[in-house]
Copies of this chain bind each other. A is one copy, B any other.
Amino acid sequence: MSNQYERPSVTVDTLVYTVMNEESLNYRKLPKKVFKVLLIKRKQEPYKDFWAIPGGFVDIDEDLEAAAKRELNEETNISDIYMEQLYTYGQVNRDPRTRVISCCYMSLVDSSNLMVEARDDAKEARWFEIRYKLIEEKKTITDTGYIKTKTYQLKLQDINALIDVIIEVDKRNTTIKRKIRESNNIAFDHALAISYGIERLRNKIEYTDIAFSLMPEQFTLTDLQQVYEVILDRELLKANFRRKVVDMVIETNAYTRDKGHRPSKLYRYNPNWIDNNIEKRN
């Protein structure tokens, strides 16, 4: 056993995403939805005053997910949310002072249900609007295969970052690497994690019920569609969208009470949709 050897430190960091309503100008118009991520301003070196994903060191007698939840609660006052493990970042020099391996979690919260508040190691805790777009695609042929580079632009309100997602195909083997080309004001390699989390979310929203973690107890189908649209960053056709989600929701008797247009039926999540699907398949 290498108990005597020098050990790396282990941290957990948690990406928290949400979708919020923007203030509406016209009382007849529905509010626009915006996709956001929660960051904290670091109180301490390294990266003092940079924005970072909330997180911290794992206690020696604490499970990883428990540590992620504790740190998130300590720094931002959020608790009791959906959480899944995203990726473990362990590059030797990702922390300038010492070797730190970071196990990164991703979580989704219902924006109507939030009480964010900076605490502990955080000077400030704040939601940043996300824009994430493919802006460049390059392909280089090599002797054995090719290298493809996709560059994504990650914009966090006033902060800007460029992420290169490099795909190397070497005969039968595919290697995917992610690198940061530029990420002003974002601490460590956290821009990488933010972009990877968005891609995981965009991917999972297509074939799972993960989006419902972003919804309140009751919602309209238009709300739900707008959440899909803002995450996928493209418009969907109403009739097709409704056909797609009809099995995942249950009608209620309630309606919205907006003024100036037809009221909309409220729905809630149908936790049995998978079973219904399986029954249909047989």
Contacts and interface: CB of A to CB of B under 8 A. Distances in A.
Interface of A: 1-3, 5-10, 44, 57-64, 81-82, 85, 87-88, 90-92, 97-99, 101, 103, 110, 139, 145-146, 169, 171-175, 209-210, 212-213, 215, 217, 269, 271-272, 275
Contacts of A172: 82, 110, 212-213, 215, 217, 269
A90 B64 CA distance: 6
Given A63-B90, A85-B87, A146-B271, 8 more contacts: A1-B98, A5-B59, A7-B9, A10-B101, A62-B92, A101-B101, A172-B215, A174-B213
Contact of A7 (B60, B209, B213): B60
A243 B6 CA distance: 54
A163 to B, nearest CB: 18
Given A9-B3, A60-B6, A271 B91 contact: no
How many copies of this chain sit in the oligomeric assembly? 2
Main secondary structure of the interface of A (DSSP, over half): loop
A80 B7 CA distance: 27
B91 A63 contact: yes
Which of A1, A209, A215 has the most chain B CB within a 10 Å cutoff? A1
B85 A63 contact: no
Contacts of A101: 10, 58, 64, 101, 103
A64 B44 contact: no
A64 B82 contact: no
Contacts of A44: 1
A8 B58 contact: yes
Nearest to A275: B139
Contacts of A171: 217, 269, 271
B57 A5 contact: yes
A18 B210 CA distance: 32
A175 B84 CA distance: 8
Nearest to A58: B8
A45 to B, nearest CB: 9
A57 B271 CA distance: 42
A2 B95 CA distance: 14
Nearest to A46: B1
Contacts of A146: 271-272
Contacts of A91: 63-64
A81 B3 CA distance: 30
A175 B61 CA distance: 22
Contact of A60 (B8, B169, B209): B8
